[in-house]
Amino acid sequence: MYPADTPVKTAPLFPAVLFLLQAIQAEGPPPNVLLILADDLGYGDVQCLNPERGRIPTPHLDRLAAGGRIFTDAHSGSSVCTPTRYGLLTGRYAWRTRLQSGVLDGGNDEPLIAEDRLTLGSFFQSHGYHTACLGKWHLGFQSEAAPGGKKAGKGFGKAGLPPGATISGGPETRGFDRFEGCSNARTMGSWIEGDRVAASVEPIDVLPRLSDRAVAHLEARAKAGGPFFLYLPLTSPHTPILPTVEWQGKSGLGDYGDFVMMTDAVVGEVLDALERNGLSENTLVIFSSDNGCSPQAGTKELEAQGHYASERYRGYKSDIWDGGHRVPFIAHWPGRIPADSRSDRLFCLTDVFATCAALLGETLPDDAAEDSFSFMPSLFGEADAAQRPPVVHHSIQGRFAIRDENWKLSFCAGSGGWSKPGDKEAEKAGLPRWQLHDLAADPGETRNLLEENPEVAERLAELLRGQIDRGRSTPGPEAKNDVKVRSPFASNETR
């Protein structure tokens, strides 16, 4: 499907990058990795990414970006939560699993990550790292309503699980030495530590608790020594939108703006903890979001006040349009990553896995990270030899799109999500069942170029067929999808 010299998971390194990597490895301890994932934070919610159409101050994220590198064409693996988290931790698209649309319920779900699948956590564990997940998991676990009690039904409701309830198949069975946090937004009141619900907490207290736990964890790791991987999936600014009293009214844009500022402050507290404990110089910090801003944030009202959470891009969380999955992505490592720099390289959050492997000089096995490509040259400021092979996008309704350089082909007539027009509405209005956009000329995806460029559409469709059929997008032996992937072509062949 791709030329034989297509970069694989550990892409060929340019001399400058190879020299830097060798220097890093020769200097002593391997680098720590801190991966912070916001929840429903739009690309345009970060001030430095949206100076003209953004109205929410984010001084700490701006500080992180000023000292590091912004990636302006980064995409989550899906326009909703669970599948993106699966892709981030496994380097594999979630649509290869049973989750063909939507998200996990968040209650008593079979774990989405298979027990024998390599994760970022287990990869770092195998290289002597202490690994921790503090925050929102939302990748499924089994649960009991009370010690020795009957298993909870699927979706245990807003009340969550009571203290003393146990879970199985959680983060500590998927590569993490330590887990504290919650399943998802609907059940965040059940605070889990390890494999047991430790307490019932008020939702408004969850984000401050996460901040405190993260700071304490960094202090402990500084004392313990040895490399660490901290995955910090925040619960904000996802609904329920609950800024604490000290943040209420700070943004002048309502609760959502206040909650974004509070989220930014949590990032600041974590960065300060790194510096205070002498960890900054040897820690790669990555910040991103699981998908675009949710319409439940009141996006229409925000736009009326001059704040565009998707910046210039069309759509929001759930959609196949770029506003659904183009996400902020900032990488920071003092003295390693060029400060105040930008990259327009196309990539997906699935690529974090292969990049971490390359950072440690390791090659991943063929049965892991099947959709992960290293972007390490770009990370250190070198130009990549070739553009990343096509990225596959996925919406809440299971609609596909494929992006190759500036061309994007969406296999639906409408948004593929919650925005108007929806797919049925768009088809009823006589819109073509496929959408082809040139994002270089039309980043807002306003003009469908399908009729003018049918050969481009056919080429992109064939690329997607190959990625689905081969069970992977990286070179290597064919792999098997967990289930039969729902075809994006069946109802669209006539377009």
> Which CATH number is 361's domain given?
3.40.720.10
126 lies in the same domain as 202: yes
338 lies in the same domain as 442: no
The Cα angle at residue 275 between residues 379 and 355, in degrees rounded to 5: 20
162 lies in the same domain as 217: yes
156 lies in the same domain as 65: yes
366 lies in the same domain as 414: no
Instruction: Please check whether residue 268 lies inside any domain of the structure.
Output: yes
Residue type, 175: G
Question: What is the distance between the alpha carbons of residues 66 and 88, in angstroms, rounded to a whole number?
Answer: 25
Instruction: Please check whether residue 2 lies inside any domain of the structure.
Output: no
The secondary element (H helix, E strand) that includes residue 378 is helix 376-379
Predicted local distance difference test score (pLDDT) of residue 29 = 86
Instruction: Please check whether residue 479 lies inside any domain of the structure.
Output: no
30 lies in the same domain as 89: yes
* Dihedral sign from CA coordinates of 45, 46, 50, 53: positive
Per-position pLDDT tens, the chain of length 495: 323 333 334 445 555 555 556 556 556 789 999 999 999 999 999 999 999 999 999 999 999 999 999 999 999 999 999 999 999 999 999 999 999 999 998 668 899 999 999 999 999 999 999 999 999 999 999 988 655 444 554 444 445 788 999 999 999 999 999 999 999 998 999 999 999 999 999 999 999 999 999 999 999 999 999 999 999 999 999 999 999 999 999 999 999 999 999 999 999 999 999 999 999 999 999 999 999 999 999 999 999 999 999 999 999 999 999 999 999 999 999 999 999 999 999 999 999 999 999 999 999 999 999 999 999 999 998 876 567 899 999 999 999 999 999 999 999 999 999 999 999 999 999 999 999 999 999 999 999 999 999 999 999 999 999 999 999 999 999 999 999 999 998 654 434
Predicted local distance difference test score (pLDDT) of residue 24 = 60
Q: Considering 379, 400, 422, which residue would you say is the last residue of a domain? A: 379
* Dihedral sign from CA coordinates of 386, 231, 476, 325: negative
Predicted local distance difference test score (pLDDT) of residue 9 = 45
Instruction: Please check whether residue 11 lies inside any domain of the structure.
Output: no
Q: Please tell me whether residue 370 adopts helix, strand or coil conformation.
A: coil
Closest by CA to 253, choosing from 262, 93, 79, 210, is 262
Instruction: Please check whether residue 10 lies inside any domain of the structure.
Output: no
The residues, ordered by sequence, that sit 6+ positions from 308 with a Cβ below 8 Å of its Cβ are 44, 50, 53, 54, 302
Instruction: Please check whether residue 487 lies inside any domain of the structure.
Output: no
264 lies in the same domain as 358: yes
Residue type, 108: N
Q: Considering 315, 344, 379, which residue would you say is the last residue of a domain? A: 379
360 lies in the same domain as 256: yes
Instruction: Please check whether residue 481 lies inside any domain of the structure.
Output: no
Query: How many domains does the structure of the chain reveal?
Result: 2
Please give the residue range of the domain that contains residue 431: 391-469
258 lies in the same domain as 179: yes
Give the DSSP letter of residue 2: -
Question: What is the distance between the alpha carbons of residues 15 and 13, in angstroms, rounded to a whole number?
Answer: 6
Give the up-direction half-sphere exposure of residue 144: CA atoms within 13 A in the CB hemisphere: 11
State how far the alpha carbon of 381 is from the alpha carbons of 18, 20, 245, 282, 406, in Å.
12, 11, 41, 18, 21
462 lies in the same domain as 355: no
Q: Which two tokens stand for residue 406?
A: 């500036």
The residues, ordered by sequence, that sit 6+ positions from 274 with a Cβ below 8 Å of its Cβ are 34, 218, 280, 283, 285
Instruction: Please check whether residue 426 lies inside any domain of the structure.
Output: yes
329 lies in the same domain as 413: no
Give the DSSP letter of residue 12: P
Phi, psi for 179 (deg, rounded to 5): -135, 130
Predicted local distance difference test score (pLDDT) of residue 148 = 47
State how far the alpha carbon of 251 is from the alpha carbons of 94, 240, 241, 259, in Å.
36, 18, 14, 9
371 lies in the same domain as 436: no
Predicted local distance difference test score (pLDDT) of residue 144 = 80
* Residue 460, domain CATH: 3.30.1120.10
